[in-house]
Amino acid sequence: MPNVPNRTKLRLINALSGLTVQAFIMQDDYTYDPDHDTISEVLGAGTELSVANYSRQTPVAGFNAVQDDTNDLAEAQYTKVLFGGGSGLTAGQNMRHLFLAIDSGNDAVDEVLAHFDIGTGSGVATNGLDIEFRFNGVDGTGAAIRVID
């Protein structure tokens, strides 16, 4: 495999900058498969969360592309994504997978950008509270998508 210069990695990440991104959660009946390229393909293999107060969300603070010459990578940074809107996610379902995907309004063509495993076994149960996912555990910027070689 050829080596890729850091600036080229940054150009690949910058290709995401004009896209609207959405986050969604799949329940514990889904098993991650890297061949699932679109939201429809993911939904065809499992169940999206559907408790009261759940809806797909846009990551907070938009998009920031960063070139990291020290670690030889480029990354798309987001701060966090919040589900529940202050009213909490009603109890009764297990959250297991968080996805970032393009949001054009058409699940059949909206491509998956990243997958995050958010638990083991049956995942994390909804419990009436909001849930916030912070990338890299910080409330500033965190890497959601990285290009490395």
The answer to whether residue 98 sits within a structural domain is yes
Q: How do residues 3-54 score in pLDDT, each as one tens digit?
A: 889 999 899 888 887 788 899 999 999 999 999 999 999 999 999 999 999 9
The total number of structural domains in the chain stands at: 1
Percentage of the chain beyond pLDDT 90 is: 52
Tell me which of 87 and 121 has the higher pLDDT.
Answer: 87
User: How many CB atoms are located within 10 Å of the residue 12 CB?
Assistant: 14
The answer to the question of residue 144 being in a domain is: yes
Q: Flag whether pLDDT at 125 surpasses 70.
A: yes
- Per residue in 82-116, pLDDT (tens digit) is 999 889 999 999 999 999 999 999 999 999 998 98
Q: Are 25 and 83 in contact (CB under 8 A)?
A: yes
Whether 1 maps to a domain, the answer reads no
Q: Please give the Cα distance from 145 to 129 (Å, whole number).
A: 27
Assess if residue 20 is contained within a domain.
yes
Name the nearest CA neighbour of 30 among 129, 117, 130: 117
Residue 3's CB: how many other CB atoms inside 10 A?
Answer: 7
Domain of 134, in residue numbers: 6-148
